[in-house]
A = this chain, B = another copy of it.
Amino acid sequence: MLVFLYIVNGGSTLPKQTFFNLPEEKKQILIQSAEKEFSRVPLFEASISNIIKAAGIPRGSFYQYFEGKEDIYFYLLDKMAGQRKGKFIAFLQKHDGDLIEAMFAMFECMLHEQEHISFMKNAFLNMTHKVEYSFLGIFSDEESISDFKEVSAQINKNSLSISGDQELYHIMQILTAVTFRNFVAKFARGLSDEQAMKSYRIEMNLLKKGIYKG
């Protein structure tokens, strides 16, 4: 689970073992070809034909490695999100466990991210429930999630108005939902980094102090 940067695939789609058995080079070519296609168009418009054309592998091979395009898509998504998990924990540590400060840092960090920008844009604008799982980590089981605990351990709970892990869980849900929506808005409306940050700041402050008086 975890904030808008970690991942958990829900266990649904995974490449077959044959893919992992592939020589590193061939694997990389496939990954790059897939990212190219998913950067061009969102998942639902992506075509396997384009991926194999770019990778130079026969059609049958693709199905040897994956059940369908979702497998490699979520593999990529998980891979990228996994790379970000450490960052968030680092931000938490840097800000003495202040959840919202860490969120700000992460949000800004992602605003500046350029490497997978097209891929991300397509992901954000065509966010499906399953894709969100990868990004936000929404769990059916609130407890016993090692990832949640790993992050939870870094959070300074003294400044939060919570009574237990249950509420912390919901706070994370709220924060990720709002953070997420702000990200989508940036892409959808083509906001500048400054505009996006400003809007995000306003909403995070509202979350902090609450929307009702007193």
How big is chain A's contact interface, by range? 35 or more
Q: What residues of chain B lie closer than 8 Å to A158, measured between beta carbons?
A: 213
Interface stretch, picked from A20-28, A80-88, A105-113, A172-180, is A172-180
Q: A126-B129, A129-B184, A178-B174 are in contact. Are A207 and B207 (CB under 8 A)?
A: yes
Whether B174 contacts A203 by the Cβ 8 Å rule is yes
Q: A173-B181, A174-B206 are in contact. Are A159 and B212 (CB under 8 A)?
A: yes
A135 to chain B: closest CB distance in Å? 12
Asked if B171 and A211 sit within 8 Å, CB to CB, the answer is: yes
How far does the alpha carbon of A13 sit from the alpha carbon of B153 in the complex, in Å? 47
Residue A119, interface by CB 8 Å:
no
B212→A208 contact, CB < 8 A:
yes
Shortest distance from the beta carbon of A54 to any chain B beta carbon, whole Å: 22
